[in-house]
Homo-oligomer: A and B are copies of this chain.
Amino acid sequence: MDGKIALIEAGGTKFIVGVGDATRQIHARTRIDTTRPDETIPAAVDWLRAQGGEYVAVGIASFGPLDLDRASPTWGHITRTTKPHWSDADIARPFARAFGCPVMIDTDVNGAALAEWKWGAGQGMNSALYLTVGTGIGGGAVVGGRLIRGLSHPEMGHIRMPRHPADAGFAGHCPFHGDCLEGLAAGPSILARWGASLSDLPDDHIGHQVIAWYLAQAAQTFQAILEPARIILGGGVMATPGLLDRVRLEAATAAAGYFAGNVAEILVAPALGENTGLLGALALTEGPG
């Protein structure tokens, strides 16, 4: 695909907007605070117009949940979210109208999964799962060259979990499910239990062990269902020094050698760095394969 591609990483705190091309160059980028749809989206459109305004495609990797059914009248809308003003916001059509070109939209984690599989830590593999562990937990997976999707996109943070023996008293922090994975291992649950982020807790604090154990149990569940060749662990919590190694150790114990491959090779860090979001949006414009 020749020509410039408009890229939007739509997050709950900020929109990162950029201009890229098929060679994966990012020519320009900016940051726009996520306030209200009728402010943030026009600001993104205006900035893209100011960069020249001619685009062959728009790629949007967005927070969710999203309606991704192309046949639906609310395709490209955020569905219901606890984020004020953004329920039912149309993220896709304002860009289609402004630039008159194809718009591809998917979740931020699906974009990241696709980009990491095409160009990053999952390159050359038959399957790769990307999980972000931060303020929330979400994931996407590429299997046989395609993002998996059923009735909707995955909501991988909401899998059910066993409880760490040292953590039995904590109710969990998910407003929907209490002690699902997100309720037990996302940033706010760490803060709720121990009053600090994982990277601010001392090395020998039990929190490191508990969170690594939960992520290892989650990895086992992902292996049992998808047997991904790579499970790529990103997000703010995963930036905690030593955490990935702890997860690998716990995962090897939990899985008891039952699944294909070596879990220490399967569990990896992302490879694309700070441009993952925009590269995710770019990967979406290329489609599968």
Q: State the A residues within 8 Å of B (CB).
A: 126-127, 139, 141, 143-144, 146, 148-163, 176-177, 179-180, 217-218, 220-229, 254-261, 266
Contact = CB atoms under 8 A, between A and B. Distances in A.
Nearest to A217: B160
B127 A150 contact: yes
25 contacts: A126-B151, A127-B149, A139-B225, A143-B148, A143-B149, A144-B149, A148-B148, A148-B225, A150-B226, A150-B228, A151-B229, A151-B266, A154-B226, A154-B227, A155-B259, A156-B225, A158-B224, A159-B225, A160-B162, A176-B258, A177-B220, A177-B254, A180-B224, A221-B221, A225-B225
Top 6 A-B pairs ranked by shortest CB distance?
Answer: A150-B227, A152-B260, A151-B260, A127-B150, A158-B224, A159-B221
A238 to B, nearest CB: 19
A155 B258 contact: yes
Main secondary structure of the interface of A (DSSP, over half): loop
A254 B150 CA distance: 19
Contact of A224 (B149, B154, B256, B259): B154
Nearest to A79: B260
Q: A126, A160, A255 — which one has the most chain B CB atoms within 10 A of its CB?
A: A160
A176 B148 CA distance: 28
B176 A151 contact: no
Contacts of A177: 220, 254-256, 258
A230 to B, nearest CB: 9
Given A160-B220, A161-B160, A256 B151 contact: no
A157 B224 contact: yes
Taking each of A155, A225, A229, A254, which has the highest tally of chain B beta carbons within 10 Å of its own beta carbon?
A: A225
Given A139-B225, A155-B224, A160-B161, 15 more contacts: A126-B150, A127-B151, A141-B225, A148-B225, A150-B226, A150-B227, A151-B260, A151-B261, A152-B260, A154-B225, A154-B226, A155-B227, A159-B224, A162-B162, A221-B225
A226 B148 contact: yes
A227 B149 contact: yes
A143 B148 CA distance: 7
A165 B269 CA distance: 36
Nearest to A221: B159
Contacts of A221: 159-160, 221, 225
B227 A152 contact: yes
B160 A163 contact: no
Nearest to A153: B227
